[in-house]
Structure 1
Amino acid sequence: MPILDVQHIEKHFGDTRVLEDISFSLEQGQAMAIIGSSGSGKTTLLRCLNFLETPNQGKILVNGETLFDADDPATQREAEVRKKRLHFGLVFQSFNLFPQYTALENVTLAPQLLAQEQPDFKARRREILEEISSQGQALLERMGLADRSGHYPHQLSGGQQQRVAIARALALKPDILCFDEPTSALDPELTGEVLKVIRSLAEQKTTMIIVTHEMAFARDVADQVIFMDSGIIVEQGEARQVIEHPREERTRQFLSRYAGS
């Protein structure tokens, strides 16, 4: 059984059909890259998976549980949606760190808020907060930022900020980690350090969906690639096959613009 099963997702904004009949599945421990031109629907698809947008049609299942069904209003209640977002972690292209908090505080804020909803929080407050802080520090160390935990975002490079954002997404132990163009806001010399972290996560069999324009990276790191154009999936399959030997003419035309990337 796949960890993620997306069935016939559609999203419209007024008369504009942004996603049409999107279906795919992802196995636990796999990385999927989604490629395509700007405006092809990639980011909207990620936002639907993270319940930041509500699809007009379709279903989303994680571990066999239906998290969203457009025909079932019970799956769309805000209280339910908040819980379901925990299945996904999202790393934005523009970092979206809180400027008033240190790196460690950015990583630990959401786990602390979640912990406060637990019935035993008051009784175990100090112990729980110390554990969350320790886990946050360990995540920063994993990102190569052990000595930056007390730094504020403005004291960090773009690559360091993005690595803090990755640690923050991992802090809630999501089933699936999603990246929306994680290097697009970075200078070329900083891109490598972020891709190195994502490559490491792939080697550790972290289940990931990566929207990216880095074709060589997608080919080498992803298990599957989906090519989207005009809101539909034009081609999907094993990463090296799609990128090196695409079957569809639209895929070939797109990839020809990235030759040598």
Structure 2
Amino acid sequence: MAVLEVNNIEKHFGSTRVLKDVSFSLEKGNALAIIGSSGSGKTTLLRCLNFLETPNQGTIAVNGETIFDASRPVKMSDKELRSKRLHFGMVFQAFHLFPQYTALENVTLAEKLLAQERPDYKQNRKQILAEIEEHGKELLAQMGLADRTGHYPHQLSGGQQQRVAIARALALKPDILCFDEPTSALDPELTGEVLRVIRGLADQKTTMIIVTHEMAFARDVADQIIFMDDGYIVEQGDAKQVINHPKEERTRQFLSRYSQG
């Protein structure tokens, strides 16, 4: 069964239709890359999945449970919204770390706040917080940052900050990890270190959606690729097939221009 099913999603900003009848599914353990020109709707799609935007039409289901249905608009409480967002971990292109917190504090903050809702929190506070700290250290070590736990964002390179952001997104054990152009703010050398981390997550069968302009990376790491243009899904399928042998003329035009650039 698919871990994620998106059906007929539309998103309008005023009279502008940014997403148009978008449907796809994602299997557990697979990586999906979304490619396309700027303004094609890629980031808006991720924001809809993460409940940062509300679609005007369509449904979203995770693990067989419908978590959004535009035909049944319901005013959600903050707690309900947080619960739905927990299905997704979001890594933004601009890191969005809290400058006043260390790398470890950035990674553990959300988990500590969530732990306060546990019925046993007051009774076992010390043990719970110790376990969260240990989990945070393990994630930073996985990112190659075991020696940077006490560093603040301004003491880290862009690539290190992005790896902290990835560890933070993993901390709450999301069903699906989402990346919004995770290397666009990095220079080429730092891009490589972040891509290596994402490649490692793919090797571990982490379920991911990656919006990217790195075509070779998308081809080699993703299981499936979606090409978007003007809010539509123009082509989707096996990653190597779409990149190396696209079926649609619009996909061929995009990839041709991209390779020339």
The TM-score normalised by the length of structure 2 is 0.98
Partner of 1:158: 158
**Structure 2 residue identity aligned to 1:175:** D
| Same amino acid, percent of matched pairs | 78
Partner of 2:91: 91
Matched, 1:16 2:16: yes
1:159-238 pair list within 5 angstroms: 159-238=159-238
Shift of residue 71 of structure 1? 1.1
The two structures, once aligned, show a CA RMSD in angstroms of 1.1
DSSP-derived class of the 1:89 partner: strand
Partner of 2:145: 145
Partner of 2:73: 73
The TM-score normalised by the length of structure 1 is 0.98
Q: 1:65 to 1:215 in 2, by over 3 A?
A: same
Q: In the aligned structure 2, how far is the partner of 1:249 from the partner of 1:136?
A: 46
- Paired residues of 1:31 and 1:224 also in contact (CA < 8 A): yes
Shift of residue 75 of structure 1? 7.4
Q: In the aligned structure 2, how far is the partner of 1:5 from the partner of 1:220?
A: 24
Shift of residue 220 of structure 1? 0.1
**Structure 2 residue identity aligned to 1:210:** I
**Structure 2 residue identity aligned to 1:192:** G
Shift of residue 74 of structure 1? 3.4
- CA offsets 1:175-225 (integer angstroms, 9 cap, x no match): 000000000000111000000000000000000000000000000000000
**Structure 1 residue identity aligned to 2:200:** S
1:122-141 pair list within 5 angstroms: 122-141=122-141
Q: In the aligned structure 1, how far is the partner of 2:216 from the partner of 2:146?
A: 29
- Paired residues of 1:35 and 1:228 also in contact (CA < 8 A): yes
Shift of residue 78 of structure 1? 4.1
Q: In the aligned structure 2, how far is the partner of 1:202 from the partner of 1:62?
A: 20
Shift of residue 80 of structure 1? 1.9
Shift of residue 257 of structure 1? 1.8
- CA offsets 1:154-184 (integer angstroms, 9 cap, x no match): 0000000000000000000000000000000
- CA offsets 1:97-129 (integer angstroms, 9 cap, x no match): 000000000000000000001111000000000
- Paired residues of 1:68 and 1:76 also in contact (CA < 8 A): no
Q: In the aligned structure 1, how far is the partner of 2:175 from the partner of 2:47?
A: 16
Shift of residue 2 of structure 1? 0.3
DSSP-derived class of the 1:74 partner: coil
DSSP-derived class of the 2:177 partner: strand
Query: How many aligned residue pairs are there?
Result: 261
Q: In the aligned structure 2, how far is the partner of 1:211 from the partner of 1:75?
A: 29
Shift of residue 258 of structure 1? 2.1
- CA offsets 1:8-37 (integer angstroms, 9 cap, x no match): 000000000000000000000000000000
Q: In the aligned structure 2, how far is the partner of 1:221 from the partner of 1:260?
A: 22
Q: 1:12 to 1:76 in 2, by over 3 A?
A: farther
Q: 1:75 to 1:225 in 2, by over 3 A?
A: farther
Partner of 2:51: 51
- CA offsets 1:115-153 (integer angstroms, 9 cap, x no match): 001111000000000000000000000000000000000
DSSP-derived class of the 1:100 partner: coil
Q: In the aligned structure 2, how far is the partner of 1:125 from the partner of 1:81?
A: 25
Gaps of 5+ in 2: none
Q: In the aligned structure 2, how far is the partner of 1:78 from the partner of 1:258?
A: 42
Q: In the aligned structure 1, how far is the partner of 2:47 from the partner of 2:260?
A: 30
Partner of 2:3: 3
DSSP-derived class of the 2:129 partner: helix
- Paired residues of 1:29 and 1:206 also in contact (CA < 8 A): yes
**Structure 2 residue identity aligned to 1:256:** S
